[in-house]
Amino acid sequence: MNDVAPATAQQTAADRLDRLWARGRAFLGTRYAVMGGAMTWVSERNLVSAISNAGGFGVLACGSMKPEMLAAEIAATKQLTGKPFGVNLIVMHPQLGELAQVCLDAHVGHVVLAGGIPPADIVKKLKDGGAKVVAFAPAAVIGKKLVRTGVDALVIEGMEAGGHIGAVSTAVLAQEILPVIREVPVFVAGGIGRGEAIVSFLEMGAAGVQLGTRFVCATECVAHPAFKKAFIRAAARDAVPSIQLDPRFPVIPVRALANKATQAFMSAQREIIGKFDSGELDMKAAQLEIEHYWAGALRRAVIDGDVENGSLMAGQSVGMVTREQSTADIVEELVRQAIGALAARDIEAAGVA
């Protein structure tokens, strides 16, 4: 048996990692196939550009921005990075078509459509305008439908993620979707906080990964120090999903650190359900009110630092956020862990302690 020197194993592992996520790197145009999760108030110009400059792929969170605000944010981000980045649009936004046009006018290369099944006409509009379209697939059947619609890549996000979540874990989604959808790159998200996990999903067939919570305590992130401190102190079990009060009213659960705002959301739901029952609001309008509630509560925590009455949206990987680091350090740490996992396996196989 030939001995494998650790340095050689490291280089071999780095080369293999490059091959494992080559499809994702090519799709994003980046050094690493690591997408930044779009987090309202958090994923703005500073963090997005820092992720892209570090070799990943930053994604601006449009949230409830109006078209002119989004145009200004895209322009400001371009002043901070010459690397590729994307824009996340919420499909329920009443000005979705206008926002899509803003992205096209700004020559944004990738648009991520989130919060529901993207309208076929918007997908076509973006693709015809030269943008690559990424959408979220909560199940294999929906993923296949999205591929037929023309989306260029998928994100599968498990319930371990922060913010709005689905009902299925990342591990199950990966097993369900990665073996059967090969036509487009698939990025895995939800609960990923270390490089070893990245390797496991790449070896299952993922083109890359998406991380949000891990970047909240980046030094470039504009989140309030109190918001970051709450993340650093939290354990995985502290990030819990919100509760739906009425099965007639499908509220998408939101995972956040438990605080007073968690209870306040229950009261807000009761009020909105009352408006729905009385006919004052239709389903879409009510869902938008829920979205606006979270955007407002999130701003109070992220920007104002009110960590008691604001929303502390966080994924279960929050327990792996232990200190404030530069974005470049976070990305490089993830890559080192991934390479280390692959190298350790090779060394063990070669019989080197």
* Residue of 83, 85, 50 lying closest to 331 (CA atoms): 50
pTM for this model (two decimals): 0.92
Instruction: Give 237-301 as a DSSP string.
Output: GGEEE---S-TTS-PPPEEEE-SHHHHHHHHHHHHHHHHHHTTSS-HHHHHHHHHHHHHHHHHHH
Among 105-109, 159-163, 263-267, the least confident range: 263-267
Q: Is the pLDDT of residue 18 over 70?
A: yes
- Rounded mean pLDDT, 56-85: 97
**Quick one: pLDDT band at residue 349, thresholds 50, 70, 90?**
confident
Q: Is the pLDDT of residue 1 over 60?
A: no
pLDDT reported for residue 2: 45
**Quick one: pLDDT band at residue 5, thresholds 50, 70, 90?**
low
pLDDT in tens, 19-40: 999 999 999 999 999 999 999 9
Q: Which residues contact 157 (CB under 8 A, 6 or more apart)?
A: 136, 138, 165, 166, 170, 173, 188, 189, 190, 210
Question: Residue 231 corresponds to which amino acid?
Answer: F
pLDDT reported for residue 315: 97
147 conformational bin, left if phi > 0, alpha if psi -120 to 50, beta if neither: alpha
351 or 8, greater pLDDT: 8
Q: Is the pLDDT of residue 153 over 70?
A: yes
pLDDT reported for residue 294: 72
Question: Residue 328 corresponds to which amino acid?
Answer: A
Torsion of CA 93, 97, 103, 107, to 10 degrees: 170
pLDDT reported for residue 243: 78
Domain ranges within the chain, ordered by starting residue: 6-222+322-344, 225-316
Identify any residues that bridge with 61 across adjacent strands, giving them in sequence order: 88
Q: Is the pLDDT of residue 200 over 60?
A: yes
What is the percent of the chain where pLDDT is above 70?
A: 96
**Quick one: pLDDT band at residue 3, thresholds 50, 70, 90?**
very low
pLDDT reported for residue 129: 98
- Rounded mean pLDDT, 229-250: 86
* Residue of 77, 127, 78, 135 lying closest to 104 (CA atoms): 127
Q: Which helix or strand (DSSP H or E) is residue 135 part of? A: strand 132-136
pLDDT in tens, 286-318: 877 876 777 688 899 999 999 999 999 999 999
6-222+322-344, superfamily in CATH? Answer: Aldolase class I (3.20.20.70)
Burial class (CB within 10 angstroms; exposed 0-12, middle 13-18, buried 19+) of 305: middle
**Quick one: pLDDT band at residue 250, thresholds 50, 70, 90?**
low
249 or 26, greater pLDDT: 26
| 226, 307 Cβ separation under 8 angstroms | yes
Question: Could you give the strand order of the β-sheet that contains 85-90, starting from the edge strand earlier in sequence?
Answer: 34-36, 208-211, 186-189, 153-157, 132-136, 110-114, 85-90, 58-61
